Structure 1
Amino acid sequence: MPTIIKKTVLYQLLFAICIYVPYLENFELTFAVWSFSAIITITNTYSLGILKQLLCFTIILVLAIIVMFFKEYQLYFIIRDFTYLIKPIFGLLIGYQLCKKFPKKVFETIVSTGFFIAIIHLCLIFWALAFYKATTVNDIRFFGGFFSDFEVYALIVLLFHKKFELNFTKKRTMLFTIFIAFSVFMYLARTNFIQFVILFLALKGYFKVNKRSITVVVSVLIIGAIGYSTILFINPKRNGPGIEAFLYKIKIIPEEAFKTKINREDYKDFNDNYRSYENIMTVRQVTREGFYSVVFGEGLGSKVDLKQEVWLGDMNLRYISILHNGFMTVFLKTGLLGLFIYFISIYLLFKKVKSDFPIINQVNLLFIGTGVFLIFSNWVFMGVYNLLDNKSILIGLLFCFREVYMKSNDEKLLSQSNSAT
């Protein structure tokens, strides 16, 4: 018995490591840890649900490889694209395979890992405030991190802890909720705030079309519109002090990722709407290459010509192979065909598994919220292809949990029924 417990703890620790390693912003390290973890935890059986997800991402990868053979690209960019496109496959495998090692402690592990990440984040912020005098929004995010989707999931599980059958004491639940909530807020990430609202509405069942849900969603939209109008009235300035910089980022949301005309000579216009600029140049380039490129993409190793050098990360680049937009990245590599398959992978998250178990219905709702959020996340942050993203691990974990829980409890009900007979 002690040996089994120790093994469970080790696998939970491995899960936490796989979730946290992307936060270190070293993709080579993330790729090494994820690929190693996926291999050493490989299992004998997989559910149809996870196989469908794996198939979608595998087809996208294979399609990009096939198109690559008809092009001439640099080996470095081919290998780089391969690691990006295989990343969600590793993530799904890790989540699914590790769940089989601790199926009864899934949500406890999610919350504990989220708490661990929150403590590190808050310590980094304290360090930045104490030793680097970080007082602006940009400084705090530079030292502490730019976003944390996983912590939002942990927070949601805590807020709905009874429905997820989380067996924490009231004191522990309150402590974890306060720390994780504060950590999420201190990222000051627009995407995380939107993610929280989407997941919260999903778990409350408001994405099911009925009079009550329509009333709630419309009310949220009205409140959001009023809040945005207030920000427009305040008119926060670019690079303003304190919270003003964050309000400015909210102010430019409607244009930032959807603007169709950008003045490259105007630094403010170009910088604020750079994500839209990437999308514009990608569509122009792919459509210019002709019908086959539009349908099948330009393959692994393909790059977009930005027509000018742009400071990205720690270097000036004119040609980029990976974009901020996940949909556009898939479109560049695999065209409309790959994009269609990518949408199928998101659509599959909306398919409910019928069950009489309340916790399974909660997992179904969490999948729906994840699907809605992925549509937004892919448009602004590459979705599951983002270097710092770990949602694919969580998705794989939930697929396995749903399968194992239903199977084990169905067997219990059958056994009880046979005993009664």
Structure 2
Amino acid sequence: MQQSIFNVSKDKTYKIVFILYIILIYYINLFEFTYILTLLCAMFILPTVKVSKFTFESIVLLFLITLTSIISSFYYGFTAFEFLKGVLYFTKPILMILVGYAFCMKINNYNFIFKFIIYFSLLLALIHIFIVVKWFYFKDVSVSTLRYVGGKSNLIEFFGLVFLLSREKLKLYFLSNNLVRFGVLMLTISFVFYFSRTQLVAVIIFIFCIYGYTKLSSKSIIIGFWIIVSIITFFIILNSISLNRNSEGVEKFFYKLKVAPTEIFKSDINIKNHAELWDRWRGYEAKKAIEQVNEKGAFAIFFGSGIGSLVDLEIDYSIPGIDKKQIPIIHNGYIFVYFKAGLLGVFLYLLFITKLYMKTYSKSLNNKRLEVINNLICGFAFYLFFTTLIITGIYNVNSIIPFILGFFLGLNHLIKLNKHEDWNFRN
């Protein structure tokens, strides 16, 4: 009996630490704090956990990217401060995946992560709606203002909405119909007022993955074809409409949608035109990074400029929001990895994403929960493939994505270990 009580106590302790971890890194949104907290959790939890083969192989790919960029730094030279900062940038997602995985193995509860994220997301949505309504009532507002006071996006709310919309597939039986309706309504309202293009696309991606539409089949090909046609048609219509860059409200949001492709890919920019440069900043950053790698020659092209290298923006005047002319991180994650670890690094990163995607083809052992978790992990692959273009993907400085991914990799392994649909996880 004493041993049983002790085990229950440890289980609750891990749950409390898990909740505190997410709340702290959410509200204390500092890279250094997140890294130290994650490292402390790793030191205390990881030694007692056996990592699955799939998770180990996945993080090895990320580790090899780090190793490649470190070797390149010794070839080209570095400053100690930038080298250390680069090591922290590259190892943070590895640590977060491992810690998320370890928490899952220790908590050992299917519903726990869903319950916490859904309830926490509802709380955050209500707070966000209150802030938006308050600003609407007392002040003249714009899209920029609402994004400044309420935030540009919220990953917790994002996953809360995805889980509610996929309740049947995820088998979240603890949710009542009334709670689902209320939750979807509140999260959707909050979601809209973030005016986030990235979150809009990401929700669609995850829903399609959870429902298995990303597996190659005649049905998924037809759906994919019509999605592509719809996207092309949408942008043709957008580009036929005159939208004012300096407008506010919905027009401002549609303007940002309109320029999204050129923002990422167009690098032929007149840097003297501040409006054009700002609209296509991601493309400009990527262009300078590619040029500087190519100037160094074959070694840099294949192995990168090194983990401590900086992208020289080559701008001789100040730009609002840009404090330095030499920066360690750029928005385009593929070019960021290319700059630091070369073509080899990009190959390893795409291999990491592909490995996550292939999880959707893994054997489900006649277990519907395992099948949907496999599909959800596939959703992370598509999410990272897309967001790496615009917000550095898994290397996003303040993202919680690696931690949540790690938790679901652990959940996947727990369900496989049990091998039964009716496995009773601890409550």
Preserved CA contact (<8 Å) 1:309 1:316: no
Matched position secondary structure for 1:69: helix
Correspondence list, 1:18-57, <5 A:
18-20=21-23, 21-22=25-26, 24-42=28-46, 43-57=48-62
Task: Tell me whether 1:334 sits opposite 2:344 in the alignment.
Answer: no
Counterpart of 1:36 in structure 2: which amino acid? Answer: L
Counterpart of 1:92 in structure 2: which amino acid? Answer: I
Q: In structure 1, what is the Cα distance between the partners aligned to 2:244 and 2:74? A: 49
Which of 100, 120, 123 is residue 105 of structure 2 equivalent to? 100
Q: In structure 1, what is the Cα distance between the partners aligned to 2:53 and 2:242? A: 51
Counterpart of 1:209 in structure 2: which amino acid? Answer: L
Preserved CA contact (<8 Å) 2:14 2:107: yes
Any runs of at least 4 consecutive aligned residues in structure 1 with deviations exceeding 6 A, and if so which?
Answer: none
Correspondence list, 1:387-406, <5 A:
387-406=397-416
Correspondence list, 1:16-415, <5 A:
16-20=19-23, 21-22=25-26, 24-42=28-46, 43-104=48-109, 105-126=112-133, 128-129=135-136, 133=139, 135-166=141-172, 167-309=174-316, 314-352=321-359, 353-355=362-364, 356-410=366-420
Preserved CA contact (<8 Å) 2:49 2:102: no
Q: In structure 2, what is the Cα distance between the partners aligned to 1:50 and 1:310? A: 46
Matched position secondary structure for 1:100: helix
Preserved CA contact (<8 Å) 2:70 2:307: yes
Q: Could you say which residue in structure 2 is the equivalent of 1:416?
A: none
Aligned-pair CA distance for 1:298: 1.3
Assess, with a 3 A threshold, how the Cα gap between structure 1 residues 41 and 410 changes in structure 2: closer, same or farther.
same
Counterpart of 1:34 in structure 2: which amino acid? Answer: T
Preserved CA contact (<8 Å) 1:310 1:317: no
Preserved CA contact (<8 Å) 1:199 1:369: yes
Preserved CA contact (<8 Å) 2:169 2:210: no
Deviations 1:297-342 (A, max 9, x none): 1112101111105767855321111111111111111111111111
Matched position secondary structure for 1:396: helix
Aligned-pair CA distance for 1:9: 4.5
Q: In structure 1, what is the Cα distance between the partners aligned to 2:318 and 2:114? A: 40
Q: In structure 2, what is the Cα distance between the partners aligned to 1:52 and 1:312? A: 42
Preserved CA contact (<8 Å) 2:93 2:395: yes
Matched position secondary structure for 2:271: coil
Q: In structure 1, what is the Cα distance between the partners aligned to 2:126 and 2:43? A: 30
Q: In structure 1, what is the Cα distance between the partners aligned to 2:120 and 2:128? A: 12
Matched position secondary structure for 2:315: strand
Q: Could you say which residue in structure 2 is the equivalent of 1:418?
A: none
Aligned-pair CA distance for 1:410: 4.7
Q: In structure 1, what is the Cα distance between the partners aligned to 2:153 and 2:371? A: 28
Assess, with a 3 A threshold, how the Cα gap between structure 1 residues 211 and 101 changes in structure 2: closer, same or farther.
same
Counterpart of 1:39 in structure 2: which amino acid? Answer: M
Q: In structure 2, what is the Cα distance between the partners aligned to 1:288 and 1:344? A: 27
Preserved CA contact (<8 Å) 2:369 2:421: no
Q: In structure 2, what is the Cα distance between the partners aligned to 1:264 and 1:313? A: 14
Segment drifting more, 18-27 vs 187-196: 18-27
Assess, with a 3 A threshold, how the Cα gap between structure 1 residues 313 and 400 changes in structure 2: closer, same or farther.
farther
Q: In structure 1, what is the Cα distance between the partners aligned to 2:388 and 2:371? A: 26
Q: CA RMSD in A?
A: 2.4
Assess, with a 3 A threshold, how the Cα gap between structure 1 residues 226 and 16 changes in structure 2: closer, same or farther.
farther
Which of 10, 14, 19 is residue 11 of structure 1 equivalent to? 14
Q: In structure 2, what is the Cα distance between the partners aligned to 1:181 and 1:341? A: 36
Matched position secondary structure for 1:41: helix
Preserved CA contact (<8 Å) 2:209 2:376: yes
Counterpart of 1:277 in structure 2: which amino acid? Answer: Y
- With normalisation by structure 2, the TM-score equals 0.89
Assess, with a 3 A threshold, how the Cα gap between structure 1 residues 119 and 93 changes in structure 2: closer, same or farther.
farther
Q: In structure 1, what is the Cα distance between the partners aligned to 2:270 and 2:143? A: 27
Preserved CA contact (<8 Å) 1:114 1:154: yes
Preserved CA contact (<8 Å) 1:259 1:273: yes
Q: In structure 1, what is the Cα distance between the partners aligned to 2:60 and 2:155? A: 24
Aligned-pair CA distance for 1:117: 3.5
Aligned-pair CA distance for 1:143: 1.2
Matched position secondary structure for 1:389: coil
Preserved CA contact (<8 Å) 1:257 1:275: yes
Preserved CA contact (<8 Å) 2:264 2:389: yes
Counterpart of 2:147 in structure 1: which amino acid? Answer: R
Q: In structure 1, what is the Cα distance between the partners aligned to 2:130 and 2:37? A: 24
| Unmatched runs of 5 consecutive residues or more in structure 1 | 414-421
Q: In structure 1, what is the Cα distance between the partners aligned to 2:142 and 2:311? A: 34
- With normalisation by structure 1, the TM-score equals 0.90
Assess, with a 3 A threshold, how the Cα gap between structure 1 residues 412 and 247 changes in structure 2: closer, same or farther.
closer
Matched position secondary structure for 2:122: helix
Assess, with a 3 A threshold, how the Cα gap between structure 1 residues 326 and 226 changes in structure 2: closer, same or farther.
same
Q: In structure 2, what is the Cα distance between the partners aligned to 1:368 and 1:49? A: 13
Preserved CA contact (<8 Å) 1:22 1:389: no
Matched position secondary structure for 1:263: coil
Aligned-pair CA distance for 1:4: 5.2
Counterpart of 1:148 in structure 2: which amino acid? Answer: N
